[in-house]
Amino acid sequence: MMDKMLVSPSPHIHAAVSTRTLMRDVIIALVPAIVVSVLFYGWSELLVLAVSVASCVLLEWAVTKWLLHKPSTISDLSAVVTGLLLAMNLPCTTPWWVVFIGAVIAICVAKLTFGGIGQNIFNPAITGRVFLLISFPTYMTDWTVPQGFITKVDAFSGATLLGIVNEQGAGAVAGLDYLQTLFLNIGGSAGEISALALLAGFVYLVVRKVIKPWITLSIFATVAIISGIFCAVDPATFTGPLFNLLTGGLILGACFMATDYVTSPMNNVAGIIYGFGIGFIVMMIRYFGSYPEGVSFAILIMNMAVPLLNRAFHQHKYGRA
């Protein structure tokens, strides 16, 4: 007569959303920043990106297949996102084998040992990056800017703005053109070049309802307020809010890494507290730490607080006013 009909519990339809579409949106949101970085840093940046993404995907595929004997999860594109974020956190001069080690730490240690996507406590890309920063500090702080596709200058070695401040004090960047920094900021890793490109991606994610803006806004607000207070008290020692918002990895971290679903709280209020924690730790490291930059450390430290925050904050229930 007719084919056997399906029978299942309700609901019978599903939203056109999956882990894969969400990850795809994150990749799309990263495209502007990637394009800018490749244009300015050229082949070496492209190599770092390619090695990082390829090793993340391959490692995830190989480990799930041969070590864990589980169905492969590379089709959900989360390994691609990890690879891209890792690459964007590294100087474009990083040797390929260092990038590969970073990918091993990110995928094998930070992600798969905890049970794969959704189970990890720490953001994989940041874990990989911090591991490299501690293990290979020379490579990780070599900010030589190579020949890009649209830049005509020869390779020059530029310290990052935060590095300059760390060594020479706030006065060294007094005459900085912030409008220039917003668009383009040569020096630093791929994720530090253009604040605007990253913010465009962030707006895309928020508009597409992939992420909620609260964590990011909370980080920005905390950084602005803390640096505002410190700068007002002693402008000679402490850099101001604009400088702290626009330099370093803050925008990349706040928009793309602190908002990682798995390692951020689900509740909005908890998200704001989480964002505050990150902003606070970032500023403490920048002002008083020995490292010039602290976004990665701040996110990792607050990652640890997420289970607690998830436990402490629940959403308001209907009829329980």
Q: Which residues bind other proteins (CB under 8 A)?
A: 2-15, 17-19, 21-22, 73, 76, 78, 115-119, 261-262, 266-267, 314-321
- Cβ atoms of 231 and 174 within 8 Å: the answer is no
Question: What string of DSSP letters covers 170-211?
Answer: GGGGTT--HHHHHH---SS-GGGS-HHHHHHHHHHHHHTTSS
Question: What string of DSSP letters covers 229-265?
Answer: HHHHH-TTTS--HHHHHHSTTHHHIIIIITT-STTS-
Task: CB nearer to other proteins: give 59 or 193.
Answer: 59
In the complex, what is the shortest distance from the CB of residue 261 to other proteins, in angstroms, rounded to a whole number? 4
Using CA atoms, how far apart are residues 130 and 116, in angstroms rounded to an integer?
20
Task: CB nearer to other proteins: give 139 or 313.
Answer: 313
Task: CB nearer to other proteins: give 123 or 244.
Answer: 123
In the complex, what is the shortest distance from the CB of residue 63 to other proteins, in angstroms, rounded to a whole number? 15
Task: CB nearer to other proteins: give 9 or 175.
Answer: 9
Task: CB nearer to other proteins: give 19 or 151.
Answer: 19
The alpha-carbon radius of gyration of the chain (Å, integer) is 21
Pairing of strands 144-145, 156-157: antiparallel
In the complex, what is the shortest distance from the CB of residue 49 to other proteins, in angstroms, rounded to a whole number? 24
In the complex, what is the shortest distance from the CB of residue 269 to other proteins, in angstroms, rounded to a whole number? 12
Task: CB nearer to other proteins: give 121 or 196.
Answer: 121
Reading the block at residue 125, the tokens are 């890309």
Using CA atoms, how far apart are residues 203 and 59, in angstroms rounded to an integer?
31
Residue 97: count of CB within 10 angstroms of its CB: 12
Using CA atoms, how far apart are residues 251 and 182, in angstroms rounded to an integer?
11
In the complex, what is the shortest distance from the CB of residue 263 to other proteins, in angstroms, rounded to a whole number? 8
In the complex, what is the shortest distance from the CB of residue 119 to other proteins, in angstroms, rounded to a whole number? 6
Question: What string of DSSP letters covers 131-146?
Answer: HHHHH-HHHHT--EE-
In the complex, what is the shortest distance from the CB of residue 90 to other proteins, in angstroms, rounded to a whole number? 25
Task: CB nearer to other proteins: give 10 or 138.
Answer: 10
